[in-house]
Structure 1
Amino acid sequence: MRKVKVFSASVRGKFGESPENFGDNLMHHLLGELFDLEVQYVPPAEAELLGVGSVLDAYWRRVHRDSVPIRKRRPWRTLHIWGGGFMTSESRPIWPQRISYHAVRGPRSLERIQTKNKIFLGDPALLLPQIWPGATVLTKKILLVPHFVTFQYFNDKYLSILPKDWGILNLLSSPREICEKISGSEFIISNSLHGLIVADAYGVPSCRIHPYGPIKGDGFKFIDYEEQRGKLLNVPYYMEDILNGKINLKDEAFSPCRPSASTIEGLISSFPMK
C-alpha cells in the first residue's frame, strides 16, 4: 500500500493516539478504502495532499502572514487539493509548496483560488456511503450531532430531558460508528458542518442549530457547502425551540440533498493520486 503525505488540521502525531475531529480524520478511511493508499500525517510544509475539512487556509491561520518567507518556501514540492475549503471569509491559501487544485468544497472556495485547472466541486465526505453502506435498521428517531467542542455542553444540558427515542452522538467516536448512527436515524440536528454533510450523504433529513460554543470560523464553510449542495441550509435554530415543538421537523426545508451520481463520479475521478 503506497503512502501519501497528508496534512489534517486536527491530527497531532501518529493517527489514533488521541481522539480527533471526525471530519478531518476521514481522509484516513477514504484514501485507504477507495484508492488503496495509506495516510501518513505530516506537518504542513511536508504535505502532498489536502482533502476533507476547512484546511485550505490552515497554514495561513498558523503563521498569520500573507506570504511565506523565502527560507521556508518549498517550491519543489506540490500540494494537491482535493475537496477542501476555507474556514473563514478573509483567510488565504498560503502554503510553502506549489499548489495544484483538483477539487474544492464549494463555489465560494473556488472564487478565492487562482488556477487554470478544471476544478470539481464537492466535499469528499459525500463518498462515505461508497465505503460504509450505512445502517439497515433505524436506531434513533432524532439524533443530536454536536460539534466535538460542544458535545459536553449538549450532553450535560439536554441528555436527561430528551425523549427516550432521541440521542446525542459524540463526534470523537470512531468514524465508522458515527456514520452508522447517523444513517440509522430518522432526523439529524447538528451544529457541525460534517454532521450535516454526512446526513446528506446517507439521505437523512437534517437541520442546523446554533453553535452553543467556540466553534472556529465565521460561517463561511456552511455557505460554501450549501451553494455546492444546491439547496440552502436553514438559518440556525435554537435547541429550545426544537424541543418545545416550535420547529416542524417534517417541513420540506429539512429534506436531505443526496449527492448526485455525477457528484460522486466527479469526486472520485478528480482524485489526483490514483
Structure 2
Amino acid sequence: MTDTPLRAFWWQNPEFSNLGDAINQNVLEYASRRKVERAPAWSADMIAIGSILDNPVIGKAFTKGRGKRIWVWGSGAMDSVQPHWLKKLNVAAVRGALTASMLDADTATSVLGDPGLLAPRIWKTSTTKTHKVGLIPHHSQLKSEWVERFLAQVTGSILIDVTNPDFAEVFQQIAGSEIIFSSSLHGLIFADAWHVPNFRINAGRLHRGGDTKFRDYYSGVLRPENTPLGIDNFVWLNSFDFDQNYFNYFKALDLVSDRLEHAFPEKLKQTSAV
C-alpha cells in the first residue's frame, strides 16, 4: 500500500463546507483506495467533481511553470469557452457531452458522468420515506426569501442544507424524500444517485455559464432537458403531478457509475493490497 496521499484540487470556501465540492475527498478515497488531501492546482495530481475544468487557477498554474499534467476524472466546465490548458490534461472522464466537446483528439474521452453519483456506494441510507418534499437550495441561496416562502407554502417540506458537514445526515434526508426540488446542480445529482424524482428550480443567475453545467450533466446521464421551475409561487406544488416516465434514465445510472469507477486512472490507485 502506498503511504503517499493522492493530491486533488477542488473548489473550497474557507467559511463553510459545500457538499458538492467537499465530497471529492470521500469519493476519491473510495475510487483510489488511498488517502486524499486537497492541494493547490500547482501541485495537484487530479481534478474531479465540480465545474472546475476551466477554472483559471489551473491555467495560472501552467502559466507559472507547472510541467506535470493533471488527471481529470468527471470534472465539468462552467461555460463553453475552451481554456488554453486542455492539452496539458490527462482525461479519464468528464461530466457531460458539453465538456467533452471542448476536448480534442489528444484529450478525448467517451466516459461521461459526475462521480457524485457514486455517493450511495459510500454512504448507506434507509429506504424509508420520512417526508414528502426535500428542498435543496444552492449554498448561496440558503437564506433567500424564496426558500423561506417555499417551506411555508409546500406542505411536508424540509430544508436540506448542502453546507451541513454531516454528509450522512444530508444523504439520509435526500433518500428519505419522496421528491426533491433543487436550485443546486449537486442537489439534483445526489437525488438522481438515490433515484429520488427531482426537479430544478431556477432562482436566478448563480455564476458564469448560466445553464451550461446543468445541460452538461443532463447530457452525461441522458436526462431529458426540461424547463426549470420559477419561484413566483409554490402553493401549486402541493398538488404537483409529474410523468414518471421522465425518470426512465434512472435505469442506466448504475451503468454510468460503473463506467466512472472503472475509468479511474490505474496509475493513481493504491499500488498493492493492504
Instruction: Check 1:142–1:53 CA distance in 2 against 1; reply closer, same or farther (3 A cut).
Output: same
2:199 is aligned with 1:207: yes
Question: When the two structures are superposed, what TM-score results if normalisation uses the length of structure 1?
Answer: 0.85
| SS in structure 1 of the partner of residue 23 of structure 2 | helix
**In the alignment, which residue of structure 2 is the partner of 1:15?**
none
**In the alignment, which residue of structure 2 is the partner of 1:5?**
7
Give 1:271's aligned amino acid. Answer: F
1:157 pairs, out of 132, 148, 151, with 148
**In the alignment, which residue of structure 1 is the partner of 2:254?**
261
Distance 1:264 1:234 in 2: 23
- In structure 2, the gaps of 5 or more residues are 270-274
**In the alignment, which residue of structure 1 is the partner of 2:37?**
40
2:72 is aligned with 1:81: yes
CA shift for structure 1 position 169: 1.2
Instruction: Check 1:26–1:86 CA distance in 2 against 1; reply closer, same or farther (3 A cut).
Output: same
- Determine if contact 1:101/1:117 at 8 Å carries over to the other structure: yes
Instruction: Check 1:236–1:146 CA distance in 2 against 1; reply closer, same or farther (3 A cut).
Output: same
Give 1:121's aligned amino acid. Answer: L
| SS in structure 1 of the partner of residue 249 of structure 2 | coil
2:97 is aligned with 1:107: yes
Post-superposition Cα deviations, 1:234-270, rounded to whole Å, max 9, x if no partner, equal: 2111134442349834333653632433322211111
Distance 1:270 1:19 in 2: 31
Post-superposition Cα deviations, 1:207-249, rounded to whole Å, max 9, x if no partner, equal: 1111346444321111111111212232111134442349834
RMSD of aligned alpha carbons: 2.7
2:100 is aligned with 1:98: no
After TM superposition, the runs of 4+ consecutive aligned structure 1 residues lying more than 4 A away are 60-63
Give 1:135's aligned amino acid. Answer: S
CA shift for structure 1 position 61: 8.4
Give 1:106's aligned amino acid. Answer: G
- In structure 1, the gaps of 5 or more residues are 13-17
CA shift for structure 1 position 176: 2.4
- Determine if contact 1:55/1:87 at 8 Å carries over to the other structure: yes
2:41 is aligned with 1:57: no
**In the alignment, which residue of structure 2 is the partner of 1:271?**
264
Distance 1:91 1:243 in 2: 42
Distance 2:233 2:147 in 1: 18
Structure holding more strand per residue? 1
2:136 is aligned with 1:131: no
| SS in structure 1 of the partner of residue 70 of structure 2 | strand
Give 1:23's aligned amino acid. Answer: G
Instruction: Check 1:42–1:60 CA distance in 2 against 1; reply closer, same or farther (3 A cut).
Output: closer
Question: When the two structures are superposed, what TM-score results if normalisation uses the length of structure 2?
Answer: 0.85
Give 2:178's aligned amino acid. Answer: E
Structure number with greater CO (CA < 8 Å, separation at least 6) is 2
Structure 1 window deviating more from structure 2 (184-193 vs 40-49): it is 40-49
- Determine if contact 2:41/2:57 at 8 Å carries over to the other structure: no
**In the alignment, which residue of structure 2 is the partner of 1:20?**
17
- Determine if contact 2:153/2:234 at 8 Å carries over to the other structure: no
- Determine if contact 1:24/1:52 at 8 Å carries over to the other structure: yes
2:163 is aligned with 1:172: yes
* Percent pairwise identity: 27
Instruction: Check 1:116–1:61 CA distance in 2 against 1; reply closer, same or farther (3 A cut).
Output: closer
Instruction: Check 1:45–1:247 CA distance in 2 against 1; reply closer, same or farther (3 A cut).
Output: farther
Give 2:218's aligned amino acid. Answer: E
Distance 1:102 1:257 in 2: 23
Instruction: Check 1:206–1:154 CA distance in 2 against 1; reply closer, same or farther (3 A cut).
Output: farther
| SS in structure 2 of the partner of residue 177 of structure 1 | helix
